[in-house]
Structures are given as structure tokens and as C-alpha cells.
Amino acid sequence: MNAVLALSGLVIVELYRRKDVYVLFVLTVVITLLMGSVNFFDDRNIVGYLKEICLFLIWISGLVIAIGTTARQIPAELENRTIFPLLAKPVSRAQVILGKFGGCWLACGLVLSVFYLFFGLLSASREHRWPLLHYLQALGLQWEMLAIVIALVLLGSLVFTAPSSNGTICFIVVVGILLLGGHLNRVALQQLEPLRTIVYTLYFCLPHLEWFDVRNLIIYDQNLVGWGACALVTIYAATYAAFLLFAAWMVFCRKSLTS
Amino acid sequence: MIRSSTRLLILLLLAAGCFSLAALLQPRAVRWSRSSGSESVLQLLLGDGRRLFANHFFVKADVAFHSGYYPSFLDQAQAPRETEHLAAESGRPGDAQPDASHEQELDFLGPPKDCFERFGRNFIVTKHTHLEGGREREILPWLRIAAELDPQRVETYTVAAFWLRKRLGKTKEAEEFLREGLRANPKSPQILFQLGRLYWEDHHDAAQARNFWELALRHWNEREPGKEAPDLLGYLGITLSLARLEEHEGNLQRAIDYLEMAERVSHSPALLEQQVQELKKKLPATRTSSQ
């Protein structure tokens, strides 16, 4: 466990040193504040568009940070040959996978907290209220979704040769699932057999990342998601992440580190 | 090795360069945004591609109006026809209650098809509501952006003006926005009609309203008859409004003329004919009393 935590700590320190997070955060702040400074028909109480833009940027930034950070973890260790002293510590390959995953996930959690703090301050400055539970729920669900994404990218980093190709493919897959994942069942019903069964199977097998996107509930001041549903979706995310990490560990065990 | 004072000088030189460039470019940027061919920098940068985005933002206004309860592009087959609803609301002053057909149209979700879909509905907006109590203002930024991107889309101005004056009591802003739309679309009968309504319903200025509506009618007659599908509803609105105005002002013969014009395109001409007959009955009495 100590080895896993030590590896996670290293990933967090690395993220702290890199400039990606700062750039994305500053961009989010600047774009949101610029949009907030625009005067729409002399009405200073309009806030919905600002929340929507800010949350959209938070989601994009979250995905970019998660995918970008995770994609280069293991390839960088292999390229710099630091993986050999690491495994000679001795640290098992499973611990490397878990450490890298934990580090990336915790780092994303820290980053998301900062982003959501800004979002909360921005909303409060216009709406003069703090729906803290709503924000915490949205943050938690997005963080859980990122656990699946990070596990997927970690697996991809062991399958694909370059971090850039892995990052691009994973980004496209994740955005594709977010946009289409929830509609595949309806698409399937319009197809003929055997395509219908294939698409429906895909619908059940794909991780439903769109469930974790509750931006509309925040933007339009809807009720909280039921805690039962939240618990179930957390188990769902944990199961998917565990499955993908297990797959990554299996690939990593078979992977030759010298080639 | 560069000394720290040299670094400071370089920094100051760069800062001065930035300031000079800003001073040089700022007047040009203003000229770009005012040039007749392109109304804004957005148009200059995006060209005709901006129209695609404009439609997206117009739809966003409708999404906001429904508090996020809106069909995705895959549900569009069962969706309300594009953005007709938001626009239709704006054409029915004083009546923004969702009617039965609209409720039916927006029941795009239907019963869940499987357990995953049922569970997924915990995380989306599943209740059909409309913004009210001043929260209608949330649609305005999207309409403003849509107008910036596609100034030739007349519907954006008329819809925004309706919500501004009818629900938010911002008559001045509505007029400014309509006039902006008129500058971008001179001779637009729809915008002129809405300006007439604003003067008639909000300013109670019959003379100005008449001017706008008569101008709208003239431009309608110049532009629409040649079209494959002329805007008959617009024609009906203009002629009926003019008829009401003239009746209110005591010009019964002119009111009859406009009602007869409206009869030609109306789906219920009998009703209008009845009104014409009623006005004709009043006509001699008015003439007699005036003598």
C-alpha cells in the first residue's frame, strides 16, 4: 500500500510541476469572466449561459487533464528506463498500475475541486446562493467518471505505441460515448438483425459515461439526484475502473519492457 | 550573461511595443466591427460558417426555455419541429401556457426501453417545464449570440423582442434590438410588424404603429407574392392589426378594407366577413353622426 501511495504522490507532484493545469484553469477563468462581462440587454441577473459555459469548460479541461496526464505515465517510465529501478525496488507491476491510476485520479480530484470552487464563487456572485450539495454531487459524479476514463487511458497506454495516439483515440472514444452512448438502444431498435443485436450488445457493454454528466441539473436548478442512484452509479464506476485496471495489469504483465 | 538591468529594459521595450501595437490596432478593430459588409468581428472571422452556429444558438435558447428538457439530435424525429415552439409562443401574446399538442410533441422520451435507460433518467431533466417568473431572461444571451452570428435571421429579433417586452417589461431594449434587426434586414415585414406592435401595445402610439404596419404591408406586397410559399400568416397579422387600429381610431371604411384583405388569406373568412358586416352596419351611423 505504501508503494502505491508513494507512486501516486509522484504523479501528483508531476502534475503540480507541469503547466497544463494552470493554462487550462486560466483559460477557463478568462473565457468565463469575459463572457460574464458581456452586457445582455442591461440585465445583470442572467446566469444560466455563464454556468453552462463554465461547466462545459470544466468538463473539457477535466478530460484533457485526465487523458493527457495518464497517457504519458507508463510510456515515459519506459522511455526514460526508470521503470527498471522502479520494478527492482521491489514494486510489483500491479502496484505500478494502481499507483499510476491512484495518482492520476487524485490529481484530477484536486484539480476539479479548484475548478468547482471557481464555479461556485462565480454562480454565487450572480445568484447569491450556495447549492453546495448540488455542486458536490456534480463534482463527485464527474470525478467518478474520470476514474473510468483514467483506467481506460492507462490500458490504452499499454496497448498503443505513442502517448499522442493513445490520447487522441481515448478522447474520441470518450466524447463519442458521452454524445451517443445513451442513444445506442434507440439506434439499435431501428436496425435489422443481426445489426440490432450487435448495437444493443454494444449499448450494454459500453461504460455509460453520460450518466455522470449532471450539468443540466445544475444549470437549470433541478433537484438533486437521488442518493440511491448515486450509490449505484458509484458502484458502476468502480466496477468498470476495476475491470479496465485488471485488463491493464494483464497486458502489463505480458508486456516486454526491453523492446 | 545578460545583466538584470538589461532584462528589465527588454521587458520595458516589449511592454512599450505591446502598448503601441494596441494603440495602432484598436481603431482598426473598431472599423472592422463597423464596416458595412461585415457587422462584427465574428462575421469577419467565421464568414458564412457562422450561420450554422447561429442556428445552434437559437436552438439553445429553446433548450433553456424548456430548462434542459429537450430532444437530442437523435430524438429530433419525435421532437417539436425545430424551434417552432419558442417562436410560436412569441406570436401568441398573452398566452404562453403549453397547449396539449405541444405537450404531446415534447413527450419524446416515452417509456424507457430497458433498465439502463430507466436508470439513466435519474441523471437528466425529465420534466417538461417552461421558464417563468422573470427567468425567461435566461434565453436572451443565446438569442443575442445567434443574432451576432447571423444578423439576417429575422426570427431571432422578433422572438427576443417578444420576450423582452411581454415578459420582462424591457420595451426600450426590445425596440433597440428590433431596430438593430431592421438595420441588418431593411424592408423586413416581420420586424416592421413587431415594431408596430411595440408602438401600439406598449407606447399606445397609433400614428407610429400605423406607419410601421403600412410600411410592413408595402414591403410584404413587394417581396412575398412572388415567392413559392409566401408568408400568409404574416400578411394576416399585418392586415388584421391595421384593421383593429383603424377601427379603434374611428376610420371604419379603412378597417373594412383591411379586413377584406385579410379575408383573402384567412382560414376562417366567414368570421372576418361577419366582422366586416358589423362594421358596415356602423358605417352609415358614423357618417350620419358626423354630419
B170 part of contact set with chain A, CB < 8 Å? yes
Q: How much is the pLDDT for A58?
A: 95
Tens-digit pLDDT profile for residues B213-233: 889 888 888 887 777 787 888
Q: How much is the pLDDT for B39?
A: 54
Q: Do A48 and B64 touch (CB under 8 A)?
A: yes
Give how far A32 is from chain B: nearest CA, Å.
14
Tens-digit pLDDT profile for residues B126-183: 888 887 777 888 888 998 988 888 888 888 999 889 888 888 888 898 999 999 998 9
Give how far B218 is from chain A: nearest CA, Å.
31
Instruction: Give the separation between CA A214 and CA B151, rounded to whole angstroms.
Output: 33
For B102-135, b/e burial (b = at least 16 CB within 10 A) is beebbebeeeeeeebbebbebbbbeebebbeeeb
Give the count of Cβ contacts less than 8 A between chain A and B. 84
Between A107-116, A188-197, B26-35, B227-236, the lowest mean confidence (pLDDT) is in: B26-35
Q: Which of A31, A32, A37, A40 to mutate against chain B (most B CBs within 10 Å)? A: A40
Which residues from A are below 8 Å from B122, CB to CB? 211, 225-226, 229
Tens-digit pLDDT profile for residues B242-291: 888 888 888 888 888 888 888 887 788 888 788 888 877 877 655 555 44
Which residues from A are below 8 Å from B144, CB to CB? 40-41
pLDDT score of B47 more than 90? no
Tens-digit pLDDT profile for residues B88-118: 555 544 344 455 566 666 667 778 888 888 8
* A186 grid coordinates: 434507440
- Provide, rounded to the nearest whole percent, the portion of chain B with pLDDT above 90: 3
DSSP secondary structure code for residue A210 in this structure:
G
Tens-digit pLDDT profile for residues A139-159: 999 999 999 999 999 999 988
Which sign, positive or negative, has the C-alpha torsion A182, A186, A191, A193?
positive
A213 part of contact set with chain B, CB < 8 Å? yes
Q: Count CB-CB contacts under 10 A for residue B26.
A: 10
Pick A46's closest partner by Cβ from B68, B114, B140: B140
- Provide, rounded to the nearest whole percent, the portion of chain A with pLDDT above 70: 100
Per the omega criterion (within 30 degrees of 0), is the bond before A90 cis?
Answer: yes
Which residues from B are below 8 Å from A144, CB to CB? none
Tens-digit pLDDT profile for residues A177-187: 998 888 888 88
A220 part of contact set with chain B, CB < 8 Å? yes
Give how far A127 is from chain B: nearest CA, Å.
12
Q: How much is the pLDDT for B104?
A: 60
Which residues from B are below 8 Å from A216, CB to CB? 68, 124-125
Tens-digit pLDDT profile for residues A162-180: 888 888 999 999 999 998 8
Which residues from A are below 8 Å from B67, CB to CB? 220, 222
A45 part of contact set with chain B, CB < 8 Å? yes
**Interacting residues of B68 by C-beta distance below 8 A, sequence separation 6+:** A216, A217, A219, A220, A222, B124, B125
Which residues from B are below 8 Å from A183, CB to CB? 72, 74-75
pTM: 0.81
Q: Do A211 and B140 touch (CB under 8 A)?
A: no
Q: Do A232 and B119 touch (CB under 8 A)?
A: yes
Alpha-helical runs (H) found in A39-131: 48-71, 73-79, 83-87, 93-127
A217-244: average pLDDT = 91
B130 part of contact set with chain A, CB < 8 Å? no
Band of pLDDT at residue B83, cut at 50, 70 and 90: very low
Instruction: Give the separation between CA A137 and CA A115, rounded to whole angstroms.
Output: 14
Pick B141's closest partner by Cβ from A49, A203, A216: A49
Which residues from B are below 8 Å from A208, CB to CB? 116, 120
Between A98-107, A219-228, B77-86, the lowest mean confidence (pLDDT) is in: B77-86
Q: How much is the pLDDT for B41?
A: 64
A49 part of contact set with chain B, CB < 8 Å? yes
Closest residue in A to B121 (Cα) is A211
Q: What is the mean pLDDT of chain A?
A: 89
Which residues from B are below 8 Å from A43, CB to CB? 137, 140, 168, 170
Q: How much is the pLDDT for B82?
A: 44
Which residues from B are below 8 Å from A141, CB to CB? 123
A36-60: average pLDDT = 88
pLDDT score of A206 more than 70? yes
Give how far B6 is from chain A: nearest CA, Å.
27
Between A112-116, B28-32, B36-40, the lowest mean confidence (pLDDT) is in: B36-40
Cα A171 to chain centroid distance, Å, stands at 10
Task: Evaluate whether A11 touches A73 at the Cβ level (below 8 Å).
Answer: yes
